[in-house]
Structure 1
Amino acid sequence: MAHQQYQEALNVLHECMESCNHCFDSCLKEDDVQMMTKCIRLDRECADICGYLEAAITRNSPYVSELASVCAKICDDCAEECAKHDHDHCQECAKACRECAEACRKIS
């Protein structure tokens, strides 16, 4: 299987998707949800592109490189936004996004 060469990236993508989904859900429970709007939106974008890239890799898509480049950009943006918030879930998400962006750049 061609996607086996990407096993580390697949693991990181999945972890990032889970972290973003957790952050998204936790942000919705914050007292000032309005303040978390940008974070929530980027969490959704990031989780979705990570999941899509994970699927693309496993089906040996010819667009893996291009998708990885886009994924790295979205992960960078999500990490930057999450890092602005002191909540543990945001800080954990920022860390996962940074790691994922780095892994994506290696395959883009």
Structure 2
Amino acid sequence: MTQSQSRSGTMTALTPQMQECIAACMDCHSMCEETMSSCMQKGGQAQMQVMRALMDCSETTRMCADMMMRRSPMAAEMCAMCAKVCDMCAEACMSMPDDEMMMRCAEACRRCAETCRAMAGAGM
């Protein structure tokens, strides 16, 4: 999983920066999924804006990690979009400051956004 094919067909290892970003994306994806589950278990009326942000972030981070692992030519652009989605999700989670799970999710989103911004700037 830490290797991919270059254009010439030879296997090249993912850079440590890419591995860190993939791990941050997958951590954020998992955290968003857990947070959505927690919201549903608690019942009540979860804010739709927050739930949409969690869903968008969960899907975007998973797709971003997948694209980096397969060395998609669109990975840098996906990382830039992923950073924006993660920032929006972190802000949405911060709207519920008394919820520990939301605060943990916001932190995971911030970490992911930071690594994705770095990867988008690296141009892969």
TM bin (shorter chain): over 0.9
Checking the alignment, whether the CA contact within 8 Å between 1:17 and 1:47 is kept in structure 2 is yes
| Aligned twin of 1:91 | 103
Residues 70 and 60 from structure 1, CA distance in 2 versus in 1: closer, same or farther, beyond 3 angstroms? same
Corresponding pairs, count: 107
Residues 41 and 107 from structure 1, CA distance in 2 versus in 1: closer, same or farther, beyond 3 angstroms? same
| Relative contact order, higher structure (CA 8 A, sep 6+) | 1
Corresponding residue to 1:74 among 85, 97, 105? 85
Structure 1, unaligned stretches of length 5 or more? none
Residues 76 and 3 from structure 1, CA distance in 2 versus in 1: closer, same or farther, beyond 3 angstroms? farther
Indicate whether 1:62 and 2:49 are aligned.
no
Q: Which has the higher helix share?
A: 1
| Aligned twin of 1:7 | 19
TM-score, normalising length: structure 1:
0.93
CA RMSD of aligned residues (A): 1.2
Structure 2, unaligned stretches of length 5 or more? 4-11
Moved more, 52-61 or 21-30: 21-30
Deviations along 1:2-39, whole A, 9 cap, x unmatched? 56211011111110000000111111223432x42211
| Aligned twin of 1:26 | 38
DSSP 3-state at the match of 2:42 = coil
Bigger radius of gyration, 1 or 2? 2
The runs of at least 4 aligned residues of structure 1 exceeding 6 Å deviation read: none
Residues 104 and 3 from structure 1, CA distance in 2 versus in 1: closer, same or farther, beyond 3 angstroms? farther
TM-score, normalising length: structure 2:
0.81
DSSP 3-state at the match of 1:61 = coil
Give the whole-Å Cα distance in 1 for the aligned partners of 2:54 and 2:34: 9
